Amino acid sequence: MPVIAADLTVHGAANMPEDDASLTGGAIDTAVQVELTALAANDVLEAVSDNAADTMNLTITGRLASGSIASETVALNGLTVVQFPANTLERVLKHVLALVAAGTITIRRTGGGATVATLAPGRSSGRRLFYASASEAGATTRFEKVFKKNENATLTLNSAAVKLTADPAAVIRIGCAPTKGDSATVANRKTTPAGVTFVDDGVSQGVPTGALAAAETIGVWVEQALGAGAAAIKSSCSIELAGTTA
Amino acid sequence: MKYTCEGRRVFAAAVREKLTAKIEYLKEKGAKLGGTDPVSKKLEEKLTALDKMKRIHDENYIGRGGCGHDLTEQIDAIPDDGEDYEYECPKCGNKGSVMKMPEDKVAEG
Protein backbone atom coordinates (compact mmCIF):
# COMPACT_ATOMS: atom_id res chain seq x y z
CA MET A 1 0.00 0.00 0.00
CA PRO A 2 1.71 3.23 -1.10
CA VAL A 3 1.55 6.62 0.55
CA ILE A 4 -1.78 8.06 -0.60
CA ALA A 5 -2.99 11.65 -0.85
CA ALA A 6 -5.00 11.32 2.38
CA ASP A 7 -1.74 10.52 4.23
CA LEU A 8 -0.31 13.93 3.36
CA THR A 9 -2.00 16.40 5.64
CA VAL A 10 -1.73 20.10 6.33
CA HIS A 11 -1.64 21.70 9.78
CA GLY A 12 -1.18 25.07 11.38
CA ALA A 13 1.72 26.38 13.42
CA ALA A 14 1.80 27.17 17.11
CA ASN A 15 1.69 30.91 16.43
CA MET A 16 -0.75 32.12 13.79
CA PRO A 17 -1.10 35.84 14.37
CA GLU A 18 -4.13 38.04 13.95
CA ASP A 19 -2.12 41.25 13.79
CA ASP A 20 1.24 42.51 12.55
CA ALA A 21 2.89 42.53 15.99
CA SER A 22 2.54 39.00 17.37
CA LEU A 23 5.03 36.13 17.24
CA THR A 24 4.62 34.02 14.08
CA GLY A 25 5.43 30.39 13.23
CA GLY A 26 6.88 27.88 15.66
CA ALA A 27 6.26 24.15 15.90
CA ILE A 28 3.45 22.23 14.26
CA ASP A 29 0.03 22.46 15.93
CA THR A 30 -1.93 19.44 14.73
CA ALA A 31 -5.13 20.77 16.32
CA VAL A 32 -5.19 23.68 13.88
CA GLN A 33 -6.57 23.26 10.40
CA VAL A 34 -5.85 25.70 7.58
CA GLU A 35 -8.28 24.52 4.93
CA LEU A 36 -11.34 26.58 4.08
CA THR A 37 -13.63 26.78 1.08
CA ALA A 38 -14.72 30.27 0.10
CA LEU A 39 -18.40 31.14 0.33
CA ALA A 40 -19.88 31.42 -3.16
CA ALA A 41 -22.21 34.13 -1.82
CA ASN A 42 -22.69 35.91 1.49
CA ASP A 43 -24.60 33.65 3.83
CA VAL A 44 -25.31 32.53 7.37
CA LEU A 45 -23.82 29.24 8.48
CA GLU A 46 -24.76 26.10 10.32
CA ALA A 47 -22.73 23.31 11.95
CA VAL A 48 -23.23 19.65 12.75
CA SER A 49 -21.10 16.80 14.06
CA ASP A 50 -21.20 13.09 13.29
CA ASN A 51 -20.60 12.37 16.98
CA ALA A 52 -23.24 12.97 19.67
CA ALA A 53 -20.50 13.87 22.17
CA ASP A 54 -19.74 17.13 20.38
CA THR A 55 -21.75 19.60 22.45
CA MET A 56 -19.04 22.17 23.09
CA ASN A 57 -19.17 25.81 22.01
CA LEU A 58 -18.14 26.67 18.48
CA THR A 59 -17.20 30.25 17.66
CA ILE A 60 -17.24 31.31 14.02
CA THR A 61 -15.55 34.56 13.11
CA GLY A 62 -15.76 36.16 9.72
CA ARG A 63 -16.08 39.31 7.70
CA LEU A 64 -19.44 40.89 7.02
CA ALA A 65 -20.21 42.47 3.66
CA SER A 66 -19.34 45.82 5.24
CA GLY A 67 -15.78 44.58 5.85
CA SER A 68 -16.05 44.53 9.61
CA ILE A 69 -15.21 41.39 11.58
CA ALA A 70 -17.92 39.66 13.63
CA SER A 71 -18.12 36.53 15.78
CA GLU A 72 -20.88 34.28 17.02
CA THR A 73 -20.68 31.45 19.55
CA VAL A 74 -23.21 28.63 19.58
CA ALA A 75 -23.17 25.32 21.48
CA LEU A 76 -23.06 22.32 19.16
CA ASN A 77 -25.77 19.71 19.56
CA GLY A 78 -24.08 16.53 18.39
CA LEU A 79 -25.85 15.08 15.37
CA THR A 80 -28.44 17.88 15.30
CA VAL A 81 -27.71 20.88 13.08
CA VAL A 82 -27.28 24.20 14.87
CA GLN A 83 -27.59 27.59 13.19
CA PHE A 84 -25.33 30.65 13.42
CA PRO A 85 -28.00 33.21 12.46
CA ALA A 86 -26.48 36.43 13.76
CA ASN A 87 -24.02 37.16 10.97
CA THR A 88 -24.33 36.97 7.20
CA LEU A 89 -20.71 36.40 6.38
CA GLU A 90 -18.78 37.40 3.28
CA ARG A 91 -15.90 35.11 4.32
CA VAL A 92 -14.96 32.92 7.25
CA LEU A 93 -11.76 33.90 9.05
CA LYS A 94 -11.64 31.26 11.75
CA HIS A 95 -13.72 28.72 13.64
CA VAL A 96 -12.72 27.70 17.13
CA LEU A 97 -14.06 24.91 19.34
CA ALA A 98 -13.98 25.13 23.11
CA LEU A 99 -12.71 21.51 23.18
CA VAL A 100 -11.16 19.24 20.57
CA ALA A 101 -13.67 17.57 18.27
CA ALA A 102 -14.77 14.02 19.09
CA GLY A 103 -16.21 13.47 15.63
CA THR A 104 -16.01 15.27 12.33
CA ILE A 105 -17.67 18.65 12.52
CA THR A 106 -18.99 20.17 9.32
CA ILE A 107 -19.48 23.91 8.95
CA ARG A 108 -21.59 24.77 5.95
CA ARG A 109 -23.95 27.30 4.42
CA THR A 110 -27.36 27.25 6.00
CA GLY A 111 -29.99 24.77 4.82
CA GLY A 112 -27.51 21.98 4.22
CA GLY A 113 -25.56 24.11 1.74
CA ALA A 114 -21.99 23.95 0.54
CA THR A 115 -19.39 22.92 3.10
CA VAL A 116 -17.05 25.69 4.20
CA ALA A 117 -14.84 23.62 6.49
CA THR A 118 -14.67 20.34 8.34
CA LEU A 119 -12.91 19.78 11.64
CA ALA A 120 -11.63 16.23 11.96
CA PRO A 121 -11.54 14.43 15.32
CA GLY A 122 -8.75 15.83 17.44
CA ARG A 123 -8.85 19.25 15.78
CA SER A 124 -9.96 22.31 17.67
CA SER A 125 -9.81 25.16 15.20
CA GLY A 126 -9.52 26.15 11.61
CA ARG A 127 -8.41 29.44 10.20
CA ARG A 128 -7.54 31.49 7.18
CA LEU A 129 -3.95 32.58 6.65
CA PHE A 130 -3.13 36.28 6.91
CA TYR A 131 -6.09 36.97 9.17
CA ALA A 132 -7.29 40.56 8.84
CA SER A 133 -4.30 41.63 6.78
CA ALA A 134 -4.63 44.60 4.47
CA SER A 135 -2.55 46.59 2.04
CA GLU A 136 -0.87 49.76 3.25
CA ALA A 137 0.44 53.00 1.76
CA GLY A 138 3.61 51.15 0.72
CA ALA A 139 4.11 47.59 -0.53
CA THR A 140 3.55 45.13 2.30
CA THR A 141 4.93 41.64 2.69
CA ARG A 142 3.75 39.21 5.36
CA PHE A 143 4.70 35.66 6.27
CA GLU A 144 2.89 32.77 7.93
CA LYS A 145 3.87 29.19 8.53
CA VAL A 146 1.96 25.97 7.92
CA PHE A 147 3.10 22.36 8.06
CA LYS A 148 2.78 19.39 5.77
CA LYS A 149 2.94 15.96 7.40
CA ASN A 150 3.35 12.40 6.17
CA GLU A 151 0.73 10.60 8.25
CA ASN A 152 1.46 7.17 6.77
CA ALA A 153 2.27 4.78 9.60
CA THR A 154 5.36 3.24 8.04
CA LEU A 155 6.21 4.49 4.57
CA THR A 156 8.57 7.25 3.52
CA LEU A 157 7.58 9.77 0.88
CA ASN A 158 10.58 9.85 -1.46
CA SER A 159 11.43 12.73 -3.80
CA ALA A 160 9.17 14.79 -1.55
CA ALA A 161 8.54 18.28 -2.87
CA VAL A 162 6.14 21.11 -2.16
CA LYS A 163 4.67 23.44 -4.71
CA LEU A 164 2.16 26.22 -4.94
CA THR A 165 -0.56 24.80 -7.17
CA ALA A 166 -2.99 27.70 -7.09
CA ASP A 167 -2.59 31.39 -6.43
CA PRO A 168 -5.36 33.13 -8.36
CA ALA A 169 -4.53 36.55 -6.94
CA ALA A 170 -0.81 36.14 -7.75
CA VAL A 171 0.29 37.41 -4.35
CA ILE A 172 1.80 34.25 -2.85
CA ARG A 173 5.20 32.56 -2.83
CA ILE A 174 6.23 29.65 -0.60
CA GLY A 175 9.45 28.33 0.90
CA CYS A 176 10.34 25.17 2.82
CA ALA A 177 11.83 25.52 6.29
CA PRO A 178 15.58 24.74 6.20
CA THR A 179 15.07 21.61 8.32
CA LYS A 180 12.24 19.15 8.79
CA GLY A 181 10.10 19.32 11.94
CA ASP A 182 11.46 22.73 12.86
CA SER A 183 10.01 25.21 15.33
CA ALA A 184 11.49 28.48 14.06
CA THR A 185 9.54 31.64 14.70
CA VAL A 186 9.79 35.22 13.50
CA ALA A 187 9.10 38.25 15.69
CA ASN A 188 5.95 39.12 13.74
CA ARG A 189 4.38 38.34 10.38
CA LYS A 190 6.19 41.18 8.68
CA THR A 191 9.56 39.62 9.49
CA THR A 192 11.17 37.47 6.81
CA PRO A 193 12.16 34.01 8.12
CA ALA A 194 15.88 33.21 7.91
CA GLY A 195 17.32 30.54 5.65
CA VAL A 196 14.20 30.18 3.52
CA THR A 197 14.07 30.38 -0.28
CA PHE A 198 10.75 31.62 -1.57
CA VAL A 199 9.62 30.51 -5.02
CA ASP A 200 6.46 31.13 -7.02
CA ASP A 201 4.11 28.59 -8.54
CA GLY A 202 6.50 27.89 -11.42
CA VAL A 203 8.87 25.84 -9.28
CA SER A 204 8.50 22.84 -6.99
CA GLN A 205 10.87 22.80 -4.05
CA GLY A 206 12.27 19.55 -2.68
CA VAL A 207 12.06 19.12 1.10
CA PRO A 208 15.41 19.01 2.95
CA THR A 209 17.04 15.54 2.51
CA GLY A 210 14.56 14.90 -0.32
CA ALA A 211 12.37 12.51 1.69
CA LEU A 212 9.68 12.72 4.33
CA ALA A 213 9.62 9.63 6.54
CA ALA A 214 6.50 8.36 8.30
CA ALA A 215 5.25 10.98 10.79
CA GLU A 216 7.83 13.55 9.67
CA THR A 217 6.75 17.13 9.03
CA ILE A 218 8.00 20.00 6.98
CA GLY A 219 7.27 23.63 7.73
CA VAL A 220 6.24 25.74 4.76
CA TRP A 221 6.47 29.50 5.02
CA VAL A 222 3.90 31.37 2.97
CA GLU A 223 4.68 34.88 1.72
CA GLN A 224 1.89 37.30 0.85
CA ALA A 225 2.98 40.39 -1.09
CA LEU A 226 0.47 43.21 -1.41
CA GLY A 227 1.13 46.22 -3.58
CA ALA A 228 0.89 49.78 -2.27
CA GLY A 229 -2.74 50.64 -1.63
CA ALA A 230 -3.87 47.42 -3.31
CA ALA A 231 -7.61 46.80 -3.50
CA ALA A 232 -9.16 44.20 -1.22
CA ILE A 233 -8.97 40.63 -2.47
CA LYS A 234 -10.87 37.49 -1.54
CA SER A 235 -8.65 34.69 -2.64
CA SER A 236 -6.97 31.47 -1.62
CA CYS A 237 -3.89 29.45 -2.37
CA SER A 238 -3.21 25.73 -2.59
CA ILE A 239 0.03 24.08 -1.51
CA GLU A 240 0.77 20.52 -2.59
CA LEU A 241 3.14 18.00 -1.09
CA ALA A 242 3.93 15.20 -3.52
CA GLY A 243 6.47 12.44 -3.95
CA THR A 244 6.93 8.77 -4.62
CA THR A 245 6.76 5.61 -2.54
CA ALA A 246 9.57 3.07 -2.72
CA MET B 1 17.13 21.39 -1.76
CA LYS B 2 16.09 20.45 -5.26
CA TYR B 3 14.16 22.87 -7.47
CA THR B 4 12.18 21.62 -10.46
CA CYS B 5 10.51 23.69 -13.17
CA GLU B 6 6.73 23.26 -13.34
CA GLY B 7 6.55 24.65 -16.87
CA ARG B 8 5.04 27.74 -18.42
CA ARG B 9 1.59 28.95 -17.58
CA VAL B 10 -1.21 27.59 -19.74
CA PHE B 11 -4.05 29.97 -20.46
CA ALA B 12 -7.66 29.10 -21.26
CA ALA B 13 -7.41 30.55 -24.78
CA ALA B 14 -4.53 28.27 -25.76
CA VAL B 15 -6.28 25.14 -24.52
CA ARG B 16 -9.51 26.09 -26.26
CA GLU B 17 -7.72 26.84 -29.50
CA LYS B 18 -5.90 23.52 -29.45
CA LEU B 19 -9.04 21.54 -28.66
CA THR B 20 -11.14 23.33 -31.28
CA ALA B 21 -8.53 22.64 -33.98
CA LYS B 22 -8.41 18.97 -33.02
CA ILE B 23 -12.20 18.71 -33.04
CA GLU B 24 -12.41 20.25 -36.51
CA TYR B 25 -9.71 17.94 -37.84
CA LEU B 26 -11.30 14.81 -36.40
CA LYS B 27 -14.79 15.84 -37.52
CA GLU B 28 -13.52 16.20 -41.07
CA LYS B 29 -11.76 12.89 -40.82
CA GLY B 30 -14.87 11.27 -39.40
CA ALA B 31 -17.06 12.74 -42.16
CA LYS B 32 -14.75 11.28 -44.80
CA LEU B 33 -15.18 7.91 -43.17
CA GLY B 34 -18.94 8.41 -43.30
CA GLY B 35 -19.61 8.51 -39.57
CA THR B 36 -19.06 10.48 -36.39
CA ASP B 37 -15.57 10.19 -35.06
CA PRO B 38 -15.61 9.05 -31.42
CA VAL B 39 -12.36 10.85 -30.55
CA SER B 40 -13.69 14.20 -31.75
CA LYS B 41 -16.81 13.67 -29.66
CA LYS B 42 -14.61 13.16 -26.61
CA LEU B 43 -12.65 16.31 -27.39
CA GLU B 44 -15.88 18.23 -27.79
CA GLU B 45 -16.94 17.04 -24.34
CA LYS B 46 -13.59 18.27 -22.99
CA LEU B 47 -14.11 21.65 -24.58
CA THR B 48 -17.59 21.89 -23.09
CA ALA B 49 -16.19 21.00 -19.69
CA LEU B 50 -13.52 23.66 -20.04
CA ASP B 51 -16.11 26.25 -20.98
CA LYS B 52 -18.19 25.33 -18.00
CA MET B 53 -15.31 26.12 -15.72
CA LYS B 54 -15.41 29.50 -14.13
CA ARG B 55 -12.07 30.37 -15.72
CA ILE B 56 -13.55 30.90 -19.14
CA HIS B 57 -11.84 34.19 -19.77
CA ASP B 58 -9.17 33.72 -22.43
CA GLU B 59 -6.48 35.29 -20.30
CA ASN B 60 -7.23 33.12 -17.31
CA TYR B 61 -4.45 30.83 -16.32
CA ILE B 62 -5.54 27.25 -15.80
CA GLY B 63 -2.34 25.48 -14.84
CA ARG B 64 1.26 24.78 -15.72
CA GLY B 65 2.45 23.01 -18.82
CA GLY B 66 4.79 20.63 -17.02
CA CYS B 67 8.51 20.77 -17.72
CA GLY B 68 10.54 18.96 -15.05
CA HIS B 69 13.86 20.67 -15.74
CA ASP B 70 16.17 20.76 -12.74
CA LEU B 71 16.65 24.41 -11.73
CA THR B 72 18.66 23.65 -8.58
CA GLU B 73 21.97 24.98 -9.91
CA GLN B 74 20.38 28.20 -11.15
CA ILE B 75 18.45 28.89 -7.95
CA ASP B 76 21.37 27.91 -5.70
CA ALA B 77 23.47 30.54 -7.51
CA ILE B 78 21.03 33.32 -6.55
CA PRO B 79 22.40 35.46 -3.70
CA ASP B 80 20.73 34.98 -0.31
CA ASP B 81 20.25 38.67 0.41
CA GLY B 82 16.48 39.06 0.74
CA GLU B 83 16.15 40.66 -2.69
CA ASP B 84 13.92 39.46 -5.52
CA TYR B 85 15.61 37.76 -8.48
CA GLU B 86 14.23 36.34 -11.66
CA TYR B 87 14.88 32.82 -12.91
CA GLU B 88 14.34 31.53 -16.41
CA CYS B 89 14.09 27.86 -17.28
CA PRO B 90 16.53 27.08 -20.11
CA LYS B 91 14.28 24.27 -21.34
CA CYS B 92 10.81 25.86 -21.53
CA GLY B 93 11.45 29.57 -20.95
CA ASN B 94 9.27 29.71 -17.83
CA LYS B 95 10.12 32.81 -15.82
CA GLY B 96 9.46 33.56 -12.19
CA SER B 97 10.80 35.14 -9.04
CA VAL B 98 12.91 33.88 -6.16
CA MET B 99 13.86 35.47 -2.85
CA LYS B 100 16.39 33.95 -0.48
CA MET B 101 17.06 34.95 3.10
CA PRO B 102 20.41 34.06 4.67
CA GLU B 103 20.47 31.73 7.69
CA ASP B 104 21.74 34.33 10.11
CA LYS B 105 19.73 37.37 9.10
CA VAL B 106 16.15 38.44 9.42
CA ALA B 107 14.58 41.43 7.77
CA GLU B 108 11.69 43.34 9.20
CA GLY B 109 9.14 44.78 6.84
- Please answer whether residues A149 and A8 qualify as being in contact, where contact means their C-beta atoms are separated by less than 8 angstroms: yes
Pairing state between β A105-109 and A57-64: unpaired
Whether residues A154 and A103 share a domain: the answer is: no
A204 touching B (Cβ < 8 Å):
yes
Mean pLDDT of A32-48: 93
Q: Are residues A21 and A140 in the same domain?
A: yes
A120 plus A135 within the same structural domain: no
Tell me: pLDDT of A43 over 90.
yes
Is the ipTM higher than 0.95? The answer is no
Nearest residue of chain B to residue A187 (CA atoms): B108
pTM check: above 0.95? no
pLDDT in tens, A13-25: 999 999 999 999 9
Cβ atoms A34, A219 nearer than 8 A? no
Return the pLDDT at B52: 66
State the 10-residue block means of pLDDT for chain B, 109 residues long: 91 79 78 71 73 61 85 95 94 94 66
**What is the chain A residue with the closest CA to B104?**
A194
Are the CB atoms for A239 and A144 separated by under 8 Å?
A: no
User: Do A55 and A138 share a domain, yes or no?
Assistant: no
| Residue A162 and residue A217 in one domain | yes
Range of the domain at A11: 5-34+130-245
Interval A208-237: pLDDT, tens: 999 999 999 999 999 999 999 998 888 888
A76 shares a domain with A193: no
Please check whether residues A75 and A180 belong to one and the same domain.
no
Q: State whether A168 and A137 are in the same domain.
A: yes
* CA nearest to B65 within chain A: A202
Is B41 an interface residue toward A (CB < 8 Å)? no
Alpha-carbon gap, residue A8 to A242, rounded angstroms? 8
Last residue of a domain, one of A127, A143, A163: A127
Question: Do residues A162 and A236 share a domain?
Answer: yes
| One domain for residues A121 and A140 | no
Among A127, A162, A195, the domain boundary falls at A127
Domain limit, last residue, from A78, A93, A127: A127
Of B94, B106, B108, the CB nearest to A202: B94
